[in-house]
Amino acid sequence: MKFYDFVDKAPPIGKLVIIEGTERILADMALQIVIERLLPAEVREMNLERFAAGQLDGVNRVAEAVQAMPFLAATRVVVVTDAQDLKAAMRRELWQVAESVPEGNTLAIHDLLPPRAQRPQPFGALAGRSALRIDITANEDVRARFVEDALRELGAAAEARVVDALARSEAGLAAVRNDLQKLAISGKKITYGELEQESLSIEDPKAYKYAGALVEGRVGDALGIARELFSGDRNAAIPLVYALATECQLLWELARDGGEIPPRLRWRERALRPIASRVGEERARRAYERAVAAFDSVVTGKIEDPELAVELLTAEVSTLTARIGR
């Protein structure tokens, strides 16, 4: 079932849910909808258990959670995220758990592989019709709907050409949403010219030099670039933090087992891959999440001093990406 069919048709949710495909932001949205539909807020904390695949030593805890009885609720929900990171043996063990979910409980597996992948075989292919399969692949129609929904949530409007351009682009939907957040700040209808201009500003080489220098451990250089940008643009925090979030996302992807970055950004792989190996998946993920949170604070005006916020973010990310024991 395509993501927006799941959203619009609200199908019954049974014992097993497989969220499959490659667009992470849609995967996270689908998972949140599953949780909200199954568990009212007042019983959610007592009946929801999450496991990150990368932090599992085995599947025993997942199996125990799946078999546990709901507490003051009709169902219990167990979530395993990023199952695509599991080795083959653990994937087989997790599948055995998935086949034994008792009636009344739900196991949701977040398996970010193309539905027709060959190795590893996606859980959705194993499940067939025995699971609710939510395909979060983003084709042009899905991307257009995502843009329209994001504009509605932002209380913004855009020319049809803007929606069409974003639907046809190859940028990840998280980047598309960030672009729309920035463009919607003025409160005016977003024009195609503004989109083109924003795209150019995102590619500002100085902002990306800041991000690259910081992740590579040249903190002094990074701060120097940031201060230079702020001296000429009081809104410099937006491109700086956006560039850092992009760089940290690449680092996180390369730190993951089998991770790959988009072809248009492969030129960064030579510099980032050894850093990713040293930093590790957990610290890379934390750096990315911190940059994304900072970006949200910047674009929504939650911070009073953007330059200070960038300096604090720089210090925090430099700690996460530094050599251990340095």
Per the structure, how many domains does the chain have? 3
User: For residue range 243-301, what is the model confidence (pLDDT) as tens digits?
Assistant: 899 899 999 999 988 888 876 567 788 889 999 999 999 999 999 999 999 998 888 88
Spell out where the chain has E strands.
16-20, 48-52, 76-81, 105-111, 132-135
Please report, as a single letter, which amino acid is at residue 210. Y
48 three-class SS: strand
Domain CATH number, residue 16: 3.40.50.300
Calculate helix-pair angle for 237-255, 173-183, nearest 10 degrees: 170
Closest by alpha carbon to 76, among 30, 129, 11, 15?
15
Same-domain pairing of 168 and 276: no
Mean pLDDT (10-residue bins), the chain, 326 residues: 96 97 93 96 95 91 96 94 92 96 96 80 92 93 93 93 81 84 86 73 66 94 94 87 91 88 73 92 94 88 90 94 65
β-partners of residue 20 are: 111, 135
For 57, the domain range is 3-135
User: SS3 helix, strand, coil % of the chain, rounded to 5?
Assistant: 65, 10, 25
Same-domain pairing of 306 and 247: yes
**Residue at 285 is within a domain:** yes
Amino acid 240: pLDDT = 92
Q: Which of 118, 135, 152 delimits the end of a domain?
A: 135
For residues 81, 84, 89, 94, the Cα torsion angle rounded to the nearest 10 degrees is 30
Amino acid 326: pLDDT = 43
Same-domain pairing of 192 and 211: no
**Residue at 184 is within a domain:** yes
* Cβ-based neighbours of 240, under 8 Å, separated by 6 or more: 207, 210, 211, 226, 229, 310
List the 48-52 sheet strands across, edge first.
Answer: 48-52, 76-81, 105-111, 16-20, 132-135
Same-domain pairing of 122 and 21: yes
**Residue at 174 is within a domain:** yes
Same-domain pairing of 129 and 12: yes
Whole-model pTM: value is 0.63
Amino acid 324: pLDDT = 55
**Residue at 326 is within a domain:** no
11 three-class SS: coil
Same-domain pairing of 292 and 271: yes
Q: Within 13 A of 224's CA, how many CA atoms are on the CB side?
A: 7
Alpha helices in 132-204 (DSSP H): 140-154, 160-168, 173-183, 192-202
Please give the DSSP secondary-structure letter assigned to residue 75.
-
Same-domain pairing of 198 and 212: no
Domain CATH number, residue 177: 1.10.8
Q: By the 8 A CB rule, do 46 and 75 touch?
A: no
Please report, as a single letter, which amino acid is at residue 252. W
**Residue at 275 is within a domain:** yes
Count of beta carbons in the 10 Å neighbourhood of residue 141: 11
Please give the DSSP secondary-structure letter assigned to residue 39.
S
Same-domain pairing of 24 and 130: yes
Same-domain pairing of 7 and 112: yes
**Residue at 75 is within a domain:** yes
**Residue at 105 is within a domain:** yes
Q: Can you say how many angstroms the Cα of residue 264 is from the centroid of all Cα atoms in its chain?
A: 19
- Rounded CA-CA distance 244/250 in Å is 10
Same-domain pairing of 20 and 107: yes
Same-domain pairing of 192 and 210: no
- Rounded CA-CA distance 29/290 in Å is 19
Same-domain pairing of 29 and 119: yes
Q: Which of 117, 135, 153 delimits the end of a domain?
A: 135
Q: Which of 170, 202, 234 delimits the end of a domain?
A: 202
Domain CATH number, residue 297: 1.20.272.10
- Rounded CA-CA distance 322/120 in Å is 33
Please report, as a single letter, which amino acid is at residue 104. G
